């Protein structure tokens, strides 16, 4: 019996720099392995595909239990910018593409990128506000239909 292509459906719900990469990397890995991949951007995850925000995502050390610095220091002015610069520098050393390039690579590899209609309405966004790699703006019900049979991962 021939193996069916696996499907991966990833929900990106957070728009910080450190939360953008897990979903995009998983989708990229799926495509590299020959599996179908779709990514659904909802709520703050829309920042990842918002054309005006995608190149300016931040990483906040405040409230992040994995950051090895006390909350009192993490909340100081300039710490978010410093943490973001450090993460970008580390990603550059590893030659990991920036978020916009990751989205381009995913679309070129055949991954399907979708934005959530409800979140778009809530944040008063239109499809023209998104990067061109977003295939469509769909409802949660549409996402459920499109992801039938897929392994769903919520980031």
Q: What is the mean pLDDT of the chain?
A: 92
CA 47 – CA 138 distance, rounded (Å): 16
The answer to whether position 147 is within a domain reads yes
Compute the average pLDDT of residues 123-133. Answer: 98
Domains held by the chain: number: 1
Compute the average pLDDT of residues 106-134. Answer: 98
> Residue 50 is part of which domain span?
7-58+99-154
**CA-to-CA separations, 98 to 42, 69, 95, 130, in angstroms, rounded:** 20, 25, 9, 16
CATH number of the domain to which 23 belongs: 3.40.1260.10
The answer to whether position 110 is within a domain reads yes
The answer to whether position 93 is within a domain reads no
The answer to whether position 119 is within a domain reads yes
Model confidence at 120: pLDDT above 80: yes
Compute the average pLDDT of residues 14-35. Answer: 95
pLDDT at 4: 61
Assess contact for 101 and 121: CB atoms under 8 A: no
């Amino acid at each position: 019996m021939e193996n069916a292509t696996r499907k991966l459906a990833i929900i990106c719900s957070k728009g910080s720099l450190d939360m953008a990469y897990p979903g995009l990397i998983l989708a990229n890995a799926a495509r590299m392995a020959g599996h179908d991949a779709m990514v659904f951007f909802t709520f703050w995850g829309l920042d990842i595909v918002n054309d005006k925000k995608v190149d300016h995502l931040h990483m906040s050390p405040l409230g992040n239990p994995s950051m090895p610095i006390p909350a009192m220091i993490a909340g100081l002015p300039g710490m978010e910018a410093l943490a973001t610069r450090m993460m970008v520098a580390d990603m550059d050393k590893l030659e990991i593409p920036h978020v916009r390039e990751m989205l381009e690579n995913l679309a070129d590899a055949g991954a399907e990128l979708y934005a959530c209609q409800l979140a778009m309405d809530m944040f008063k966004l239109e499809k023209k506000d998104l990067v061109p790699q977003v295939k469509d703006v769909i409802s949660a019900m549409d996402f459920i239909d499109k992801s039938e049979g897929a392994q769903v991962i919520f980031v």
